[in-house]
Amino acid sequence: MLKMKESKIGKAHGKIILMGEHAVVYGEPSIALPFPAVEMLATVRENEGPLRIDCSYYHGIADEMPEILQSLKKAIKVALDSLDKPYENLSISIESAIPPERGMGSSAAVAVAVTRAIYQYYQTELSHEKLLELVSIAERIAHGNPSGLDAITTSGSSPVYYRKGHDFVPFDLQMDAYLVVGDTGVTGQTKEAVQSIADRIQQEDQPISLNKIHTLGSLADHARTFLEKNDAVSLGKTMDHAHQLLVELGVSNKELDTLVKAAKKAGALGAKLTGGGRGGCMIALVANEADTFALQKTLREAGAVATWVTSLKKEESR
């Protein structure tokens, strides 16, 4: 009897964009953090064939989203093609706590987890550069023209400062503050949000939206300085300013604005949408851990379907 190959698991975490979403698409700076509070697991095992794919997503919501299955299939194809391996005789299952289409890097994370699992299954070494290359290919197929920020953040373990076309710069967090993440429960399509800004820019005689994009990039640079100086109050102000610009660029929505306002009213130092917007998640900054509990309650009362907390001091999240 033929010996079955051992099943293999690949993992990936979500991501949070602290500053610079959308601006990063135009070559402006951005800052993003790995978000290990939400994780994705891919398991590859032997199967009689044909290729079998099972997805179990956050509250089962991906079941009605064919585009998620499509991006998963593309990521699998990219990984298997790179190894020159056939598609049959595999069973690939995904278990994800990363809500899809909520600005948390779900599509990049699925590519990271699947690629890691497939390379492990075929006992092939996978360097970070190679992983990044494959995930970027899968992301380009799924999203058109992504900046690469999601691929970098979901495949790495450090916060990053990133500008498209430049090497990303990992850095350590040392701020005495916390981010509370609130999920609106509304899906937001990153591809459409990115396209809507491109359309605005194209339709304008004056560079109104482009100037806002440029300001968002400068705010990301300021935010980096404030993170280094442990100045949470100033970081909060840059977050508020960034949210206002993202509203003006048309990528916020009613649910995001409600949560951002509720967070500010409850005393958050700053609050903004995170990721592609038009739904998805927002983040709010607070100085004390004790305040994170009250803020989560406030956000849930204002309509958040889920909340999380992550520390800006070191890798501590829950």
Single-letter residue type at 23: A
With CB under 6 A as the contact rule, the residue among 29, 99, 100, 146 that binds ligand MEV is 146
Query: Which positions are annotated as active-site residues?
Result: 150
Residue 149 is a binding residue for ligand MEV (CB under 6 A): yes
Q: Per 3-state DSSP, what percentage of the chain is helix, strand, and coil (rounded to 5)?
A: 45, 20, 30
Point out which residues pair with 8 in neighbouring strands.
44
166 close to 30: Cβ distance less than 8 angstroms: no
- In the list 71, 115, 154, 190, the residue contacting ligand MEV (rule: CB under 6 A) is 190
Should residue 142 be labelled a site residue for ligand MEV when binding is judged by CB under 6 A?
A: no
CB closer to ligand MEV, 62 vs 92: 62
Of the candidates 39, 9, 96, 73, the one whose C-alpha atom is nearest the C-alpha of residue 318 is 39
Q: Say whether residue 25 binds ligand MEV (CB under 6 A).
A: yes
Nearest residue (CB) to ligand MEV, 17 versus 131: 17
Geometric angle at alpha carbon 317, from 312 and 318, rounded to 5°: 145
- In the complex, minimum distance from the CB of residue 104 to ligand MEV, in angstroms, rounded to a whole number: 8
Give the residue with the Cβ less far from ligand MEV, 146 or 159: 146
Q: Which residues contact residue 203 at a Cβ distance below 8 angstroms, ignoring those fewer than 6 apart?
A: none
Among 13, 22, 74, 241, binds ligand MEV (CB under 6 A): 22
Residue 272 is a binding residue for ligand MEV (CB under 6 A): no
| Closer Cβ to ligand MEV, 17 or 76, answer by number | 17
33 backbone dihedrals φ, ψ, rounded to 5°: -125, 140
Query: Per CB under 6 A, which region of 19-27, 69-77, 84-92, 166-174 contacts ligand MEV?
Result: 19-27
| φ, ψ at 97 (rounded to 5°) | -100, 5
Evaluated on CA atoms 68, 70, 71, 72, the torsion sign reads positive
Residues lying near ligand MEV in the complex (CB under 6 A) are found at 17, 21-22, 24-25, 103, 146-147, 149-150, 190, 194, 275-276
